[in-house]
Amino acid sequence: MITSKDLSFSYSPHKKFNFPDILCNDGEALLILGQSGRGKTTLLHILALLLTPATGDIIIDGHSIHSLSPKQTATVRANKIGIIYQRAHFVSSLTVLENLLLSNYLAGRNQDRDKAAYLADQLGFSEHLPKKTHELSQGEQQRVSIARALMNNPAVILADEPTSNLDDENCQRVVNLLKAHSAQIGASLIVVTHDQRLKDEFSNQISL
């Protein structure tokens, strides 16, 4: 579960973002819709603990992130939060499987090959595990990045425009997989997008 209160952020004195409070329970999904320039990515980065908000607090799994040291922040981010970016990015020199295991390694966990194989099977890219990531199509890459976000069983899954580069078919597939898998591990799913195709897919919505 993730909640936020009174979050605000400013890149400069003229450009200040005030964000609505967010509540997303375990196993639920929340869609945050907004046009470009409304601070969607900024909000996602704040929720992902990549940016420190000017004001306000975030509670993840009952713990405030307010007074965490940079190192603790990195640990919470690695273990509690799974992030999916607009364009899937990977460590290009590593294979798909290694990219999945990297997520375990960087979080300081045991490298769970079985789980990687299970997720690859569930998300339909088993045959691509030994390939380099650039050999995969965009849709496949996005599915791999979902698997990577799930590798550490995070409490929160954050997706930044996960479907904007995908065609309708892949879009539908990715959204369904995201919803199904975050519900399966009981994680809160927050999707930030301007993609109107997702409007009808989520019952909980916030507009920026």
Partner 1 sequence: MNLIKISWANIKDKKLNSFLSVLLLTLGIGMISLLLLLNKQLDEQFRRNIRGIDMVVGAKGSPLQLILSSIYQIDAPTGNVPLSEVNKLKMNPFVKTVIPLSMGDNYQGYRIVGTTPKYIEHYEATVGEGKLFVQPLEVTLGSKVAQATGMKVGDTFASAHGLDEEGDEHGDTKYKVVGVFEPNGSVVDQLILTDLSSVWAIHDHAEEPTHSTEEGETDHDEEAIPHEKEVTSALIQFRSPMGMLALPRQVNANTPMQAALPSIEINRLFSLMGVGIDTLRALAVVIILIAGASVFISLYNSLKERKYEMALMLSMGATRAMLFRMLLLEGLILALLGYVAGVLLSRLGLWLFSQAAEQDFHYSFSGMMLLPEELLLLAGALAIGVLAAALPSLGVYRLSISRTLAQD
Alpha-carbon span 15 to 12, nearest angstrom:
5
For tokens 């993609």, the residue is 195
Strand partners, 22: 4
Alpha-carbon span 206 to 31, nearest angstrom:
6
| CB-nearer residue toward partner 1: 40 or 202 | 40
| CB-nearer residue toward partner 1: 23 or 94 | 94
The nearest distance, CB 133 to partner 1, in angstroms, is 11
The nearest distance, CB 106 to partner 1, in angstroms, is 4
Closest CA to 144 of 197, 187, 101, 202: 101
The nearest distance, CB 109 to partner 1, in angstroms, is 9
| CB-nearer residue toward partner 1: 53 or 201 | 53
Write out the residues near partner 1 by the rule CB under 8 A. 41-42, 45, 48, 50-51, 71, 74-75, 77-79, 83, 85-87, 89-94, 98, 101-108, 111
- Are the CB atoms for 184 and 28 separated by under 8 Å? no
The nearest distance, CB 108 to partner 1, in angstroms, is 7
DSSP label at 76?
H
